[in-house]
Structure 1
Amino acid sequence: MHQTSARGAAGCPALEDAAGLDLFDTGFVRDPYPLLGHLRRAAPVHYDSATGLWLISRYADVRQILLDPATYRPDNAQQAVAALSVPTLRTLARAGFKLPPALANNSSSTHTGLRRVVTRFFNSARVAAATPLIDATARQILTRMQDRYVPGADCDLAADYARPLPCMVMLQLLGIADMPASTLLAWSDASLELFYGWPSPERQAHLVDLVCDFYRWLTSQVTDAAPSHSLIGALRSHRMPSGEPVDPATVVAVCFFAFIAGQSTTGQLISTVLRHALADADVWERSASDESFASAWVEEVLRREPPVTTWRRVTAREVELSEVRLPAGSQLLLMLMGTGSDPEIFDQPDRMDPYRANIRHHLSFGAGRHRCLGASLARTEAAVALRVAARLLPDATLTKGADPQMLGLLSFRAPTRVLVRHN
């Protein structure tokens, strides 16, 4: 057992290769697997001095943490990773921006009730009923792309298809009218980068204006009359354990999380699914005709390359993980992406195998009381998106030589473009 302090890695297993670890480095973002594998083997509990986070990389440790929210609290899940500049903080204050405990960052007794309200909009029955809508929306988007999908020209399936699809579907499912998908996507991008990226003060000045626009819009939606069948209306009717109605700030916090998580990460998943499928002609062809295969392919991508790569927790008391003792208040970063390649759990983890027996044992949606409540919708949207694209664009191929640009935030990773050409 190793005695450690929260400020350093004294006593941690040696990890010479991670001395210069940069979680935002382009090389790591493009190919994180070698370092994630090295972390699992050499230092499954590793202190990253740049972020002040303890990197937890073994499947067993991460699962233990996720299933014990009393010991490993989610209170830090939505805190900004980088220090926000004074002008940025002032802009947030002027907008009245605050995110009280609601869903992902809530360890209190109010979490269960709030989660139950949101889950009604993403449960399996509702997702099944929405499948025709997802299919029709996918076809509509691809049909509009036909004038650009011509020999010799590139089409970006990430920007033009994968990202707007779940956003358009979610707006309809949540009863949000008169909101362009492009606006919500811009707000979501800015929010993720500001709180999960490492933006410069100059970049923060741009991002924070968009974040505050989003927050002010949500606040106006919450304070105005909302239909009872909408998410906002359902939240406003909710009663806390005390019997009191939920306060407006908490409703806004729930919606801030749900409106981003309900579409942004799914768009990232679809982009990754499409890129991998297009790289293998047999996978692309089979996805067009075999629904079960398309769903299995999505599941294997979730295991190997999920859009949510990490998540945070903070210890409520002193704990021991993989023979490393951490004091109360230690900030943890759960390496979700790395757990999907843990050879203790998955045989030949670097091989894409949609028929592996334990394909759903991954932790990409989390586990326990904070497990992703939109998992069913994300799986369905990704499978439908793959199937429809493979059917309507059967001769599509990845553009040769295109730079595989990647979104590389602390907890989110995906191709920012998937360029294809008419073959």
Structure 2
Amino acid sequence: MITPALDTSAPGTGVRVAGPHSGAAGPVPPGAGHDPLGVLDLFGDGFVRDPYPWLDTLRSQAPVHHDAGTGLWLISRHRDIRRVLLDPDAFRPDNAQHAVTPLPVAVLRVLARAGFQLPPALANNGTDSHPGLRRVITRFFNARRVEAAVPVIERLAGELLDAARARLDTDGEYDLFASFAQVLPCRVLMELLGIQDVDPATLIRWSDASLELFWGRPALDRQLELAHQVCQFHQWLTETVRTGRAADGSFVGALARHRLPDGTPLDAQTAVGACFFVFIAGQSTTGQLIATVLRRALSEPGMWPRVAQETEASWACVEEVLRREPPVTTWRRVVARPVELGGVDLPAGAQLLLMLMGSGSDPEVFADPERMCPHRVNIRHHLAFGAGRHRCPGASLARTEAAVALRAAARSLPKARLAKGAEGAPMLGLLSFRAPLRVAVADG
């Protein structure tokens, strides 16, 4: 639950956006010094840019590792993470959306004045209300609806790529993140959920502000700026839920009709919490996935023309990116009772950070994990969408949007290549989210 009272006691970890001129020291290889992990900084430029050496060392030498800097237990092996995700009674989701950085009084006042509160709804809900709420969500993202959405995704992708083609012809370079990868999932979500009273740019700004405030480590001035944007987002969601203007067949309308296990109507704050989660996952994280998929396909020799010609190749490429470089890199759990995990005794209340991205490179599960191998037999055994009762309900839509976006971009821009210096583009590096913030292409 993201509430001011709980956030102030959350572990004081954080993040920054890594860039080529961030001024950070270069990465220290794992194994340096007395600690086999070297200088492990989960939020430093070196880790954000290339986390794999550290993740490999964690998995092989310290698979259940207490990180003194964050107070979190880092869980790295695929089998241990899967065990945690499949046992929500022993490993509860209560802390999944706690603010990473304690919020100062000035920020708490901004949130309090706006009435900001998000009770447990989906990702952080371990109560008996979760299954019913999840069913409401999954009905809007089931296989039939996702298949019906493909023409919508293709149409919107085509419109955005027509603009990209024109700009590329004029300027010689174009950023596929800001004007394509980031915008496409927002516009798709708006059409699927019947949102008409706000523009895509505003929804994107609100969603990204929420991620940065609650999963980042911004300075106080930036926290205050973000808090005002998050409050605007919350107030818009609250008004949308409470006015009753939503159509019966809409997502908000379905929440309004939903009944809790005791038969009482779903309260407005919990409905807002569900919308908050769905809007962020449906926009920001899907946009991050698309950006990563585009960059990877442009980087791999022969991949760009192949995904343009072979439909299955685009799906396989997306799946390999989800395995190796997912946008949701970690997720949190809290130990409900004393338990042994990976040979380590953990006390009740221990805060766990599940290293989802590292689990996709576990050699016990994936052969040659560092290789881009789109036709792996076990290609879907990754944990990018979680597992068990809290597995991402929008997984099918996210996969579909990324595959359609990749195929459309490769067909519309057949000669595109990464622009010079693209490897130094800034990276988003929040506690649980990582993606390129720029995918600049030139016409080859």
TM-score, scaled relative to structure 1? 0.95
Which amino acid in the other structure matches residue 181 of structure 1? P
Q: Structure 1 residue 316 and structure 2 residue 359: aligned?
A: no
**C-alpha contact 2:76 2:354 (8 A) present in aligned 1:** yes
- Give the drift of 1:332: 0.4
- Give the drift of 1:18: 3.4
Q: Structure 1 residue 353 and structure 2 residue 390: aligned?
A: no
**C-alpha contact 1:306 1:364 (8 A) present in aligned 2:** yes
- Give the drift of 1:151: 6.5
Query: How many angstroms apart in 2 are the aligned matches of 1:286 and 1:201?
Result: 47
- Give the drift of 1:299: 0.3
Which amino acid in the other structure matches residue 120 of structure 2? P
Q: Structure 1 residue 192 and structure 2 residue 215: aligned?
A: no
Query: How many angstroms apart in 1 are the aligned matches of 2:217 and 2:72?
Result: 14
Q: Which residue of 2 aligns with 1:11?
A: none
1:296-323 per-position Cα deviation (integer Å, ceiling 9, x unaligned): 1100010000000000000110011111
Query: How many angstroms apart in 2 are the aligned matches of 1:92 and 1:151?
Result: 44
SS in 1 for 2:168: coil
Query: How many angstroms apart in 1 are the aligned matches of 2:65 and 2:115?
Result: 37
**C-alpha contact 1:223 1:248 (8 A) present in aligned 2:** yes
Which of 67, 85, 108 lines up with 2:86 in the alignment? 67
Which of 222, 227, 243 lines up with 1:224 in the alignment? 243
Q: Which residue of 1 aligns with 2:72?
A: 53
Which of 402, 406, 411 lines up with 1:386 in the alignment? 406
| 1:307/1:15 CA distance change after superposition, 3 Å | farther
**C-alpha contact 1:15 1:43 (8 A) present in aligned 2:** no
Q: Which residue of 1 aligns with 2:41?
A: 22
- Give the drift of 1:19: 5.4
Query: How many angstroms apart in 1 are the aligned matches of 2:128 and 2:79?
Result: 27
Query: How many angstroms apart in 2 are the aligned matches of 1:157 and 1:391?
Result: 14
Query: How many angstroms apart in 2 are the aligned matches of 1:310 and 1:168?
Result: 26
**C-alpha contact 1:15 1:42 (8 A) present in aligned 2:** no
1:105-184 correspondence runs (5 A): 105-150=124-169, 153-184=172-203
**C-alpha contact 2:323 2:382 (8 A) present in aligned 1:** yes
SS in 2 for 1:143: helix
- Give the drift of 1:50: 2.0
Q: Structure 1 residue 266 and structure 2 residue 286: aligned?
A: yes
Query: How many angstroms apart in 2 are the aligned matches of 1:111 and 1:53?
Result: 26
**58-67 or 257-266: bigger deviation:** 257-266
Query: How many angstroms apart in 2 are the aligned matches of 1:278 and 1:38?
Result: 29
Q: Structure 1 residue 276 and structure 2 residue 296: aligned?
A: yes
Which of 198, 214, 223 lines up with 1:204 in the alignment? 223
**C-alpha contact 1:273 1:301 (8 A) present in aligned 2:** yes
Which of 413, 416, 422 lines up with 2:437 in the alignment? 416
1:239-293 per-position Cα deviation (integer Å, ceiling 9, x unaligned): 0000000000000000011111112111000000000111134110010111011
1:323-338 correspondence runs (5 A): 323-338=343-358
**145-154 or 228-237: bigger deviation:** 145-154
TM-score, scaled relative to structure 2? 0.91
**C-alpha contact 1:151 1:422 (8 A) present in aligned 2:** no
Query: How many angstroms apart in 1 are the aligned matches of 2:135 and 2:155?
Result: 28
Which of 426, 434, 438 lines up with 1:405 in the alignment? 426
**C-alpha contact 2:165 2:412 (8 A) present in aligned 1:** no
Q: Which residue of 1 aligns with 2:6?
A: none
1:170-192 per-position Cα deviation (integer Å, ceiling 9, x unaligned): 01101111221111110011000
**C-alpha contact 1:315 1:329 (8 A) present in aligned 2:** yes
| 1:211/1:343 CA distance change after superposition, 3 Å | same
Query: How many angstroms apart in 2 are the aligned matches of 1:337 and 1:177?
Result: 35
- Give the drift of 1:146: 2.7
Aligned length: 411
Query: How many angstroms apart in 2 are the aligned matches of 1:40 and 1:15?
Result: 18
Q: Which residue of 2 aligns with 1:88?
A: 107
Q: Structure 1 residue 35 and structure 2 residue 35: aligned?
A: no
Query: How many angstroms apart in 2 are the aligned matches of 1:165 and 1:19?
Result: 40
1:324-364 per-position Cα deviation (integer Å, ceiling 9, x unaligned): 10100110000000000000110000000001110000000
Which of 393, 409, 413 lines up with 1:373 in the alignment? 393
Query: How many angstroms apart in 1 are the aligned matches of 2:269 and 2:197?
Result: 23
Query: How many angstroms apart in 1 are the aligned matches of 2:382 and 2:270?
Result: 31
**C-alpha contact 2:36 2:61 (8 A) present in aligned 1:** no
- Give the drift of 1:229: 1.0
Query: How many angstroms apart in 2 are the aligned matches of 1:160 and 1:211?
Result: 22
**168-177 or 146-155: bigger deviation:** 146-155
1:67-88 per-position Cα deviation (integer Å, ceiling 9, x unaligned): 0011100000110001111100
> Can you give the 5+ residue segments of structure 1 that lack an aligned partner in the other structure?
1-6, 8-13
1:382-407 per-position Cα deviation (integer Å, ceiling 9, x unaligned): 00000000000000010012322110
Which amino acid in the other structure matches residue 267 of structure 2? D
Which amino acid in the other structure matches residue 266 of structure 1? T
**48-57 or 167-176: bigger deviation:** 48-57
RMSD between aligned alpha carbons? 1.3
**C-alpha contact 1:152 1:421 (8 A) present in aligned 2:** no
Query: How many angstroms apart in 2 are the aligned matches of 1:151 and 1:26?
Result: 34
Which amino acid in the other structure matches residue 361 of structure 1? H
